[in-house]
Amino acid sequence: MDINLYKLTSMKRVVIGTAGHVDHGKTSLIKALTGVDCDRLKEEKERGLTIELGFTALTLPSGERVGVIDVPRHVKFIRHMLSGASGIDLVVLVVAADEGIMPQTVEHVQICELLGIERGVIALSKIDTVDADLFDLALSDIKTFIVDTFLQDAPIIPVSSVTGEGLDKLAEAIEQEVRQVKERQVTGIPFLPIDRVFTIKGFGTVVTGTLARGRFTPGEDVEIQPSGIKAKIRNIQIHSESVEEAMAGMRTAINLQGVDKDQILRGEWLVPAGVFTPTRVIDARLKLIKAPGRGGIKLYIGTAEVIGSLSLHMVDGQNVARIRLKEPIIASCGNKFIIRNISPGATLGGGIVLNPSPLRRFSEEVARDLLAEGYSRRIIGMVKDAGIQGIAKKELVSRFADLSPTIERAIQDLQSKGDIIRFDTQNDLFVSADFFQVLKDGIKGVVHAFHSRNLSSPGISKEHLRSSLKGDVDQRLFHKVLMELVRSQTIEEEGAYIREKGFSASLGNDIDLSDKVYTMLMKAGLEPPGMRDLCEQFGIDEKKLSQVLGFMTRAGRLVKIKEDIYLTDRHEADLKGKVKAFLKQKQVMSPIDMKTVAGVSRKYAIPYMEYLDRIRFTVRVGNERKLFSQN
């Protein structure tokens, strides 16, 4: 590749593409205008038929240069045609004077409209082969056809690639239209749909395509998606001249370092490293020219062709589809695409990507947001679609492929209005206000239900509360919602427990039972009965007893020694007094000493020693205990 840097001051970032029926003279016309024969393959020369995409540049009368794509029009090469059409800003529709409008002419104009191409020039070719009557018939045919198409005001220029007649007028007409074309966005995240892959001796792998948005510069780390192969940009060329950067709308050749030609396929995307995630599902707005059947479809996006299926939804009078693909693609909001039948091959329509990676089942509410103009409601739609999992700001930026301050301001504005809630400042994670409220209501509902079933409990633990909510709620989001409810004094947090504001635990009708349990444990002294004995004594189940014992423990009437041993507060104080007196005199206590001092069996002696260690009344030294220093 030539290392002499080419200055782009004379390069208009517009790509012109040919369209029209097979054998209407598109490639010959491009050669007559540019001097370049875009039929580069041997088969193309032999058959007189364009099979592969052809690329060159056209110097306009003013001296400006624009890229040119000569796309194949034979029905068998529809994939190559659509690969080229996806990068076109201005179309030159070629109609032969000896045939007029033909079936492929109609389909190609439909495809251009579906891809959002808005301007064009019509070249009435082969005028040297017809008489005046046939010429007038072809001209009339064109004028009738273009009514109600995007070409209805397009200039019609009679030309001959053989004699050169009309070529200057065609170049002037193209220049007039080029001036009206809005150049592509250079502030976005760059992505290059790859339409050719080859090697150059001494330089290595080269990929080409029309840079869809943003800009690339030499030295950038990039990756080939959806394969995920990483590479580095070594050099960039625009029309065979090395440049310091490529910008959106330019036919671009990029020399890659660290990747072999055989690792890259036509239809993949060259994108910045670590930005885009491949997807197999997209939501899109559709414009249909034929109703899709029950079979699968082929989706043409960028330079990729992927088989998939779609489900149609009518949202406010617009067709919105969820499209599921058999192979992953890269997409961002606003990407245009074409859908065709698998068999027989026919264009069904086209669309615009609304959400390149929906996370939940299709929602008409979300679709309405995504159909809106401007960023704000579309961002809300994306955040709603993410549900309680939330979505990171960097993911939103990736989906819109936009690095401009506009999206940043929109996110900040939505946050300040409370339409979206940031629950993780470190990772900039957002959830919609709707789902935030759903979680609030969910938490309040779970807490209230817990109280109704557990009157004696001071509240529900945080982990029990979080696990009781629908869905796997992020810990950070859970904490954010919880603190919001605490600040609004809807719920209270005390230690490990969450409860409704003003809730007070009580035993209700079981208050008499607690007094009976206390009396029985007082009579039992330091060898209290276990839970099974208490259940049999009072004719209650273990759950009821646990509630009573837990309430009495929290109230300070009982002390839980271990799972099956409870002491009254008085007996616990008596035990401490006996142990303290013994240690003041003897300094150390063994398990045998505990049995003697407390007058209990080993069944109780060991749990009592472990309990006193746990509350730091004593400290273990080997197999003996000493009085804790503060006691």
- Per-residue pLDDT of 442-479, as tens digits, reads 999 999 998 888 877 888 988 899 999 988 888 999 99
Check whether residue 24 and residue 167 sit in a common domain: yes
CATH number at residue 252: 2.40.30.10
Q: Among 230-244, 402-416, 465-479, 500-514, which is the least confidently predicted range?
A: 500-514
pLDDT at 39: 44
Q: What is the pTM of this model?
A: 0.78
Q: Give the pair of three-digit tokens for residue 549.
A: 């014992």
- Do 171 and 253 have their domain in common? no
pLDDT in tens, 490-518: 999 888 889 988 887 777 777 788 889 99
Regarding whether 101 and 128 lie in a shared domain, the answer is: yes
Instruction: Note whether residue 363 is domain-resident.
Output: no
3-state secondary structure 372-383: CCCHHHHHHHHH
Domain around 609: 524-631
CB of 195 closer than 8 Å to CB of 225: no
Q: Which of 213, 245, 272 is the last residue of a domain?
A: 272
Among the candidates 208, 238, 272, a domain finishes at 272
33 membership: H or E segment, kind and range: helix 26-34
Q: Is residue 294 part of a domain?
A: no
Whether residue 534 lies inside any domain: the answer is yes
Between 503 and 418, the higher pLDDT residue:
418
For the segment 374-394, what is each residue's pLDDT rounded down to a tens digit?
899 999 999 999 998 899 999
Among residues 272, 306, 331, the one where a domain terminates is 272
Residues 15, 47, single domain; the answer is yes
CA atoms of 118 and 180, how far apart (whole Å): 10
Predicted pLDDT at 338? 92
**What average pLDDT does the segment 386-410 reach?**
90
The model's pLDDT over 123-175, given as tens digits with 9 standing for 90+, comes to 999 999 999 999 999 999 999 999 999 999 999 999 999 999 999 999 999 99
Indicate whether 148 belongs to any domain: yes
Same domain, 153 and 131: yes
> What is the distance, to the nearest Å, from the Cα of residue 453 to the centroid of all Cα atoms in its chain?
41
pLDDT of 52 reads 38
Lowest average pLDDT, out of 9-13, 316-320, 522-526, goes to: 9-13
Q: Is residue 60 part of a domain?
A: yes
Task: Name the CA radius of gyration of the chain, rounded.
Answer: 38
d(C-alpha 504, C-alpha 420), whole Å: 35
Residues 175 and 197 reside in one and the same domain:
no
> Is 501 domain-assigned?
no
Residue 472 token pair = 């796997």
pLDDT score, position 82: 67
> What are the strands, taking DSSP E only, across 478-557?
491-494, 497-500
d(CA 31, CA 608): 100
Q: Looking at the structure, do residues 48 and 123 belong to the same domain, yes or no? A: yes
Q: What would the mean pLDDT of 116-122 be, rounded to a whole number?
A: 93
The mean pLDDT of 187-214, rounded to a whole number, is 89
Residue 3 has pLDDT above 60, yes or no: no
Poorest-pLDDT segment among 340-344, 434-438, 505-509, 627-631 = 505-509
Tens digit of each residue's pLDDT (9 = 90 or more) over 316-354: 999 999 999 999 999 999 999 999 988 777 889 999 999
Alpha-carbon dihedral of residues 603, 604, 607, 609, nearest 10 degrees? -120
pLDDT confidence tier of residue 38, bands split at 50, 70 and 90: low
Q: Are residues 126 and 240 in the same domain?
A: no
Confidence at residue 45, expressed as pLDDT on a 0 to 100 scale: 37
Q: Beta strands 90-96 and 119-125: pairing type? A: parallel
173: which 2 tokens? 């007409």
* Average pLDDT along the chain: 88
**Alpha-helical runs (H) found in 162-214:** 167-180
In a domain, 344, yes or no: no
State yes or no: pLDDT of 31 exceeds 60. Answer: yes
Clarify whether residues 39 and 158 are in a common domain: yes
**Average of per-residue pLDDT across 235-256:** 89
* Domain identity same for 105 and 175: yes
Provide the domain count of the chain: 3
Q: Based on the domain organization, do 205 and 106 belong to the same domain?
A: no
Residues 70 and 160 in one domain: yes
- Inform me whether the pLDDT recorded for 78 exceeds 70: no
75 versus 190: the higher-pLDDT residue is: 190
